[in-house]
Amino acid sequence: MTEVLVRKTERIAGEVCAPSSKAYTQRMLVASALAYGTSKISVPLVSEDTEATLRAVKTLGAKIDVDGDCWTVEGAQPLRAAQTPIDCGDSGATLRFTIPLAALPPDSSVFLLGKSLERRPIAPLLQTLKQLGVEAYHRRLEGRASIIVEGGGIAGGKATIRGDVSSQYISGLMFACPMARADTEISLNTHLESKIYVKMTQSVLTDHCINIYISEDSDYLHIPSEQIYKPSSHRVPGDFSSAAFLFAAAAITNSDVCIKNLEYETLQGDKAILEVLKRMGVHSKIYPNQVEIKGNGDLLEAVDLDVRDIPDLVPACAVLACYAKGTSKIHDAHRLRYKESDRLLSLYLELKKMGAQIAIDESSLTIEGPCPLHSAVINSHNDHRITMACAIAALGASGETRIQDAECVRKSYPKFFDDLRALGVDVIGGEFDR
C-alpha cells in the first residue's frame, strides 16, 4: 500500500506534457498485432493497462520490440491460441478487445481476470459472440475468475448487442470480425454510449486498410469478411482524459498552466472537458499542440452535465462542482457503477468525507457548492480516477489529505503526482516508474 500526501496549494504554474492516450495506444497495438507485416507505434503510453494489452497480443502471437519511445510490432499472422493463460490484470479494454480475437485460432485460450475486472460486465459480449458461432464462458481456475474462449473461427452473420454498457464490446467485435468466414451484421438494441470511442477504433482500423460501415445513428455495423490487415505507422496523441485532472487543478486554484502534447483535432470525446470549463467560467486557449488554462480569480459556475458520452470526465467534473457556486448535477452516469470501482459511489463517499455537500442516486451526483473541503484519509478504492480526483480536490481543502493505495494511478497515468509537483503542488510520495 502506497500513501500519498497532498497539501492545500494556493496557486500552481508552469507547463507539463499530457501523457499519451491509453485508448489510442491499446487500439493501435491490437490493430498492429493483426497486420501482415511490421508496424510502428511512436510515443505509446506505458502503464499497467497498456502492458496488459501488450502481454495479451504477444501471447496470441505478435512479436514486439520495445525501444525507447517506439514499439515495433510484427503482426501475428496467423493468430495462435494462447499457450499460457492471458493475464488481463484489471484492464477492461484488454479483455474486451482480445476475447473476440481468441476465437479466431483453431484452439482454445484462457483469460485471467483481476479482482476489479471480475466485477465488470462481460456477458453481453459473450452472448453476441455466441450468435456469431463462438463458444466462450466463465470458469474459476485455481481460485481466479477466468474466461475460456473456444477457438475455431468466427462464422459471421447477424447479431445484436447492447450499446449502453460498454462501447468496448463493439470495438472488440470490430477488431475480430473482419477475419470472420462471412460478413457480419451487428445491430444495437440500445443507444450506443461513448460512440466516439467506436469512431476512434474505426479510424485506427482504416489506417490498417480495414473497412467497416457504421450507420449514421451508430445502431448498425456491417463488417465485410476475410479482410487483410496491412501494417501502418502510428503516433499516439496526448490524452485529454488524463489532462482533465490537470485542467481541474488549474481551475480550482485560479492558476495559469500550459498542458502540452494535446491535439484538439484528435477523435477524443474527453476533449469536451474544455467546453465544460468554458461553461463554468474558465478561460482556455487551444493551440496546435497544447492547451493553456487562464485563471481569472472568479468562482466557478455550477453546471448540469449529461455524461453518457464522457463517463471518464465525471471524477474531474465532480471535483470542479465542489468549488462552483450553485447546484451542479452530473447525470446519466449509470455506467460508472461498473468501472474499476463503483465510481459513482466512490466519488460520493470520498468527497463527502472531505466535506462536500453531495447527494447520489442510481445514475447521478448532485453537488451544492462551493463546498468548504477539508483534509481526510482517502480510500482510493483501487481506482486510478478516484485517486486523481481526490488529489485535485485536496488542492483547495484545508490541511493535509492522505490518499491510500495511490499506486493505482499506474493504470493510466504513472507520472501524475510527478506532474503535479512540477506545477507546484505540495505532494509527498507518489513516484512511480509506470
- The catalytic position among 90, 312, 405, 419 is 312
Instruction: Give the rounded distance of the alpha carbon of 103 from its chain centre.
Output: 24
Query: Which of 72, 126, 78, 65 shows the shortest CA–CA distance to 105?
Result: 78
Strands 324-331 and 300-301: parallel
Strands 283-287 and 256-260: unpaired
CA separation for the pair 393, 353 (Å, rounded): 11
Strands 63-67 and 70-74: antiparallel
CA separation for the pair 423, 109 (Å, rounded): 46
Phi-psi region of 382 (alpha: psi -120 to 50; beta: other; left: phi over 0): left
Cell reading at 186: 451487428
The burial class, CB within 10 Å (0-12 / 13-18 / 19+), for 48 is: buried
Query: Which of 340, 381, 333, 393 shows the shortest CA–CA distance to 361?
Result: 333
- Our answer to whether residue 312 is catalytic in this structure is yes
DSSP label at 178?
G
The length of the chain in residues reads 434
SS (H, E, C) 129-161: HHHCCCCEEEEEECCEEEEEECCCCCCCEEEEE
Name residue 378's beta-bridge partners: 403
Angle (nearest 5°) at CA 327 between 351 and 313: 55
DSSP label at 264?
T
Residue 115 · residue 91 · CB < 8 Å: no
Q: Is 343 helix (H, G, I), strand (E, B) or coil?
A: helix
- Determine which helix (DSSP H) or strand (DSSP E) holds 251, and give its type and residue range: helix 240-252
What is the end-to-end Cα distance of the chain in Å, rounded?
16
Q: Is 98 helix (H, G, I), strand (E, B) or coil?
A: helix
> Dihedral sign, CA of 386, 391, 393, 397?
positive
Known catalytic residues? 312
